[in-house]
């Protein structure tokens, strides 16, 4: 198992370099340069001088492979470079100040989704075509089809403007510095309620459907029948025997959504004015801020590869058949 994991880890290195190389080429292919973006589209002479200056400053006048080589040699030393945006700050610093809030939002959202989606999926599967199944199906599809920004605005109008129970946007109230510690936490949490509801609502749909589908397949299996025949309580049959197997595909999906945890939701972040990764990335793309885009890509790519590996390893842990298969293969 360990050797398998190590081998996968080593293979990931060339893969990562390949990903960054292709990404590097592709983002440089997009029309527009940082200089053009910074000086406007229709430009007068002085703007073109600035554009030229910026091209030299950022090495953009050099051939692409030279730029890539420079970037890669810096990366090996964990130097992600400085942002092309006029604040010229180190990329890692920019990502570092945006990451915690996005991570927090996404982890909480993910936990809520799992906590809700698993029981919903299991219940609708075991009671297929029951009233509960039908109602949740409708609910879930409504959730899937509702645009984030629209739901967000409705909730803001109701809870923020009409009732005044919750803050509309941002992360902290203006008098935050002057609140006591516990009030600060309460204030912060109240700002997160609406964004989390909106983000959860959409994600819940997909996950509970997966769970339902996976459960439906499992409970038709013979061994579930046998478990029932042994006279086990239905709760044990479903909760212990069926659920564990039904979780397998969910683990894969979960693993793959790990890298998504650091990529914020652009729409939710923009509408709730949350300074997270989504906003940073979108702004970087608009500004053609290549170092920030690449920095973000490297992190996401690394996490994706890591998550894949993790999912494969977890498979082995959850499903003895895979573990046995690997052992047999080694012989």
Partner 1 sequence: MKLPLAVVPLALAAALALAACGGEADSAVEQGSARPGEKPAYGDTFIESLTGNISGLIPNVLSDSASFEIGSMLYSGLITRDKDLNIIGELAESWTFSQDCLDLTFNLRRNVRWHDGRPFTAADVVFTYETMIHPKTPTAYREDFKAVAEVAAPDPYTLRVRYKQPYAKALQSWGLWMLPRHLLESYVREGRLREAPQNRSNPVGTGAYRFGEWKPGEKVVLVANPDYFEGRPHLGRVVYRIIPSQATIFLELKAKGVDAAGLTALQFKRQTEYPAFRKAYHKYEYPANAYTYLGFNLKDPRFADRRVRQAIAHAINKRELIDGVLLGLGREATGPYKPGTWAHNPDVPTYPYDMAKARALLAAAGWTETNADGVLVRNDQPFTFELLTNQGNDERKKVAEIVQASLKELGIQVDIRVIEWASLLKEYIKKRRFEAIILGWGIGLDPDQYEIWHSSKTGPDELNHISYANPEVDALLEQGRTSCRQAERKKFYDRLQTILAEDQPIVFLYFRDALPVVSSRVRGIVPAPSGIRYNFNEWYVPTHLQRYTAG
Residue 31 sits in the site that holds partner 1 (CB under 8 A): yes
CB nearer to partner 1: give 177 or 222: 177
Among 29, 76, 131, 161, binds partner 1 (CB under 8 A): 161
Helix 91-126 and helix 131-145: axis angle, to 10°?
A: 150
State which of residues 273, 317, 324, 325 lies at the interface with partner 1 (CB under 8 A): 273
In terms of phi and psi (left: phi > 0; alpha: psi -120 to 50; beta: otherwise), the region of 173 is beta
Question: Does residue 29 belong to the site contacting partner 1 (CB under 8 A)?
Answer: no
Binding mask 163-192 for partner 1 (x = CB under 8 A): -x--xxxxx--xx-xx--------------
Q: Closer CB to partner 1, residue 90 or residue 206? A: 90
Q: 121 burial class (0-12, 13-18, 19+ CB within 10 angstroms)?
A: buried
No. of helices (H) and no. of strands (E), the chain: 15, 0
Report whether 238 contacts 126 (CB < 8 A): yes
53 touching partner 1, by CB under 8 A: yes
Min dist CB 37 to partner 1, Å, is: 9
Q: For residue 29, give the 3-state DSSP assignment.
A: helix
Tokens of 205: 């749909």
Binding mask 106-145 for partner 1 (x = CB under 8 A): ----------------------------------------
SS3 233: coil
Other CB atoms closer than 10 Å to residue 176's CB: what's the count? 14
29 vs 46 by CB, closer to partner 1:
46
Q: Pick the closer one to partner 1 by CB: 90 or 306.
A: 90
């Amino acid at each position: 198992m360990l050797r398998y994991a190590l081998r996968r880890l080593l293979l990931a290195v060339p893969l990562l370099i390949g990903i960054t190389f292709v990404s590097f080429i592709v983002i440089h292919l997009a029309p527009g340069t940082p200089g053009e973006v910074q000086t406007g589209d229709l430009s007068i002479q002085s703007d073109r001088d600035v554009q030229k200056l910026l091209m030299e400053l950022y090495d953009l006048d050099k051939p692409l492979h030279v730029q890539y080589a420079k970037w890669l040699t810096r990366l090996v030393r964990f130097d992600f470079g400085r942002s092309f945006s006029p604040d010229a700050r180190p990329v890692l610093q920019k990502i570092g100040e945006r990451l915690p809030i996005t991570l927090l939002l996404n982890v909480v959202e993910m936990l809520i989704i799992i906590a809700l989606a698993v029981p919903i999926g299991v219940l609708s599967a075991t009671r297929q075509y029951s009233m509960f199944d039908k109602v949740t199906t409708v609910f879930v599809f409504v959730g899937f089809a509702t645009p984030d920004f629209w739901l967000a605005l409705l909730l803001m109008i109701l809870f923020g403007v009409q009732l005044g129970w919750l803050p509309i946007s941002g992360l902290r109230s203006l008098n935050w510095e002057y609140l006591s510690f516990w009030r600060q936490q309460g204030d912060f949490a109240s700002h997160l309620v609406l964004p989390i509801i909106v983000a959860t609502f959409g994600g819940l749909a997909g996950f509970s459907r997966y769970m339902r589908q996976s459960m439906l397949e499992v409970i038709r299996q013979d061994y579930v029948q046998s478990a029932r025949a042994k006279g086990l309580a239905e709760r044990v049959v479903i909760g212990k025997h069926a659920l564990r197997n039904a979780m397998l595909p969910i683990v894969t999906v979960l693993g793959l959504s790990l890298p998504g945890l650091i990529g914020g939701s652009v729409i939710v972040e923009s509408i709730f004015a949350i300074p997270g990764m989504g906003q940073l990335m979108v702004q970087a793309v608009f500004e053609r801020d290549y170092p920030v885009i690449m920095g973000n890509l490297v992190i996401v790519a690394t996490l994706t590869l890591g998550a894949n590996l993790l999912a494969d390893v977890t498979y082995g842990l959850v499903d003895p058949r895979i573990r046995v298969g690997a052992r047999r293969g080694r012989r």
